[in-house]
Chains A and B, each alone.
Chain A
Amino acid sequence: MPKHETPMLDQLETGPWPSFVSDIKQEAASRAKNERNVEFQIPEDVCDDLLGVLELSYKHGRTHWKHGGIVGVFGYGGGVIGRYCDQPEMFPGVAHFHTMRVNQPGGKFYSTEYLRQLCDLWEFRGSGITNMHGSTGDIIFLGTTTPQLEEIFYEMTHNLNQDLGGSGSNLRTPSDCIGQARCEYACYDTQALCYDLTQTYQDELHRPAFPYKFKFKFDGCPNCCVASIARADISFIGTWRDDIRIDQEAVQAYIGGELKPNAGAHMGRDWGPFDIQKEVIDLCPTGCMWMDGKELKIDNKECTRCMHCINVMPRALRIGNDRGLSMLVGAKAPILDGAQMSTMLVPFIKAEEPYDDIKEIIEKIWDWWMEEGKNRERLGELMKRQGFQKLLEVTELQPDPRMVQEPRSNPYIFWKEEEVEGGWSRDINEFRKYHQR
């Protein structure tokens, strides 16, 4: 017999897609049975009450959670988000139901041994319900009580060699794509850079002193599988600056139909025979490709590395060898001035350990934003308010046409005094010698 009737949620148990309702019920049953004899440190029926309060939200069409602001682990300003139920008498098991963010490993690779250790800890000291993973990238532990927070942190740091992630006005947990670990498109080692910067900036990640949140995301190539360009204050996007490597035999194999275009990604429909002119050459955004007899030619100087031709013919075309990344800055999702996409700041930089050049730019950006940023102002908003030119000034970078979509269409330039010959002060008496009043 379930503790609470959940007629509405029960309707989400049917249909093919994995049902989170069935899963929470399974966890509730597992806790009730307790075959492992776990000494649960939060109420055994926490999952029953979670289903109960969720059913109530389905009935009301409204949430039943309130946020709390003080709970956390000592000395850290992030990683824990306080949560309280607004019907604690009805659902005492979830009266206190705080979230913990746990910094995920790069590429989200796990050994089962380690995953089981996380499960054991969270079953013992929490609800046993997680998110794999949260939007930022963290492992999310969903629901525990205040006294357990320090206990979990202690066990995690002492036994699992694992730290919390970020929340609040600090560096948020950086996240990366699968990169060179299993992708031939990756132009730099996303996991190595992500890990290095995460470790270098632990203080920024745990102790908030920024005006607002700050995100790093690492995409190995311009396909942008982790959407860095849409959501990171600094997007690190892999690129190259020499020539696309061409295997002309493989090009012919695609033309001849022996190889499937787009790695077979379109196999669910008969799109007819592959047409290199129509599907690759004509779709190239800069028109820099052509067939010269049986040879595919690319004018690499005109290539913007959009990845289309490489995506369509991965066995014939490969990324160049002189690789690095572009740094784009200022993306964010909602409100104020609306969504913003990242904009190009550093067109090309090598990604080599110890990444000093990259860190130098990051720290210059932070120095500016920490001093000039208003409370709750994202970097992209500060860039709008003070101007991209200001950002160039503080990062000591040279302007480049790749940084803009197009040059300004108004001529109202704010000249600086030092840019104008002779400065701004003039001698009025000297002027009057030649011009009457």
Chain B
Amino acid sequence: MDYAEAKEKIISELSKKKGKTKFYFNDLAKILDAKPRDAKKIVNQLIQEQVLEFWSSGSTSMYGLKGAGKQAGAEGE
């Protein structure tokens, strides 16, 4: 899968989920149907392009579409 296709797939799959805006890395790898190391390259590029953003509880990390979710408003200073 090339990058453009991967990007579109991530955006459309993540936008579909109702009421859920944070995803584990494994969820993304599953959407991309890729091995973790290959998925990581794509995910990192999506972060660089500000399509995705990190979310962290301190102990666990998750990913979401940039600006999505309830905390984005509260934390966007």
Chain A residues packing against B (C-beta within 8 Å): 67-72, 75-78, 80-82, 96, 145-147, 167-170, 207-213, 367, 370-371, 374-376
Q: Is B39 an interface residue (CB 8 A)?
A: yes
Q: Are B60 and A146 in contact (CB under 8 A)?
A: no
- Nearest CB in chain A to that of B39: its residue: A209
Cα separation A375 to B26 with both chains bound (whole Å)? 7
Given contacts A78-B61, A168-B59, A375-B26, contact A207 B71 (CB under 8 A): no
Taking a contact as CB atoms closer than 8 A, the residue among B39, B58, B72 that contacts A70 in the complex is B72
A212 near B60 with CB under 8 A, answer: yes
By beta carbon, the residue of chain B nearest A66 is B74
Say yes or no: A69 contacts B71, CB within 8 Å.
yes
Identify the B interface with A (CB < 8 A): 22, 24-26, 35-37, 39-40, 43-44, 47-48, 53-62, 71-72, 74-77
Q: Are B36 and A67 in contact (CB under 8 A)?
A: no
B61 is contacted by which of A68, A77, A146 (Cβ under 8 Å)? A77
A168 lies within 8 A of B40 (CB): no
How far apart are the CA atoms of A77 and B23 in the complex, in Å?
13
| A371 near B54: Cβ-Cβ < 8 Å | no
> Is A208's CB under 8 angstroms from B75's CB?
no
**Closest residue of chain B to A147, judged by CB?**
B77
Chain A residues whose C-beta falls within 8 Å of the C-beta of B61 in the assembled complex: 77-78, 168-170, 208
Q: Which residues of A contact B60 (CB under 8 A)?
A: 168-169, 212, 375-376
Asked if A77 contacts B56 (CB within 8 A), the reply is: yes
Q: A168-B60, A169-B60, A209-B40 are in contact. List 7 more A-B contacts (CB 8 A).
A: A77-B47, A167-B59, A207-B44, A209-B39, A211-B24, A211-B25, A374-B26
Query: B64's closest neighbor in chain A, by CB?
Result: A70
Pair B72/A169 contact, Cβ less than 8 Å: no
User: Are B77 and A211 neighbours in the complex by a CB distance under 8 Å?
Assistant: no
- What is the bound-complex CA distance between A96 and B59, given in angstroms? 19
Instruction: List 27 A-B pairs, Cβ < 8 Å.
Output: A67-B57, A68-B75, A70-B53, A70-B72, A70-B75, A70-B76, A71-B75, A72-B56, A75-B47, A75-B48, A77-B56, A77-B61, A78-B61, A80-B56, A146-B77, A147-B77, A168-B54, A168-B57, A169-B25, A207-B40, A209-B25, A209-B43, A210-B25, A213-B59, A367-B36, A371-B36, A374-B26
Assuming the A-B contacts A207-B40, A209-B25, A209-B40, are A168 and B56 also in contact, with contact meaning beta carbons closer than 8 angstroms in the complex? Answer: yes
Q: Report the bound CA distance from A417 to B58 in whole Å.
A: 45
Chain A residues within an 8 Å CB radius of B72: 70
Q: Is the CB of B36 within 8 A of A78?
A: no
Closest 10 CB pairs of A and B: A168-B61, A208-B61, A370-B36, A77-B54, A169-B61, A69-B55, A168-B56, A209-B40, A375-B24, A81-B58
Contact at A78–B77, with CB atoms within 8 Å?
no
Q: Which residue on A lies nearest to B72, using beta carbons?
A: A70
Q: Which residue of A lies closest to B48 (CB)?
A: A75
Interface centre among B37, B44, B61 (most CB of A within 10 A): B61
Instruction: Give chain B residues whose Cβ lies under 8 Å from the Cβ of A367.
Output: 36-37
A81 to B21, CA, bound (A): 19
With both beta carbons as reference points, the residue of chain B lying nearest to A211 in the complex is identified as B26
Report yes or no: B77 in contact with A96, Cβ–Cβ below 8 A: yes
CB of B37 to closest CB in A, whole Å: 7
Minimum C-beta distance from A7 to chain B (A) = 32
User: A96-B77, A168-B59, A168-B61 are known contacts. Are A208 and B36 too (CB-CB below 8 A)?
Assistant: no
How far is B56's CA from A72's CA once the two chains are assembled, in angstroms? 9
CB proximity of A327 to chain B, nearest CB, Å: 22
Q: How far is the CB of A97 from chain B (nearest CB, A)?
A: 13
Q: Is the CB of A72 within 8 A of B54?
A: yes
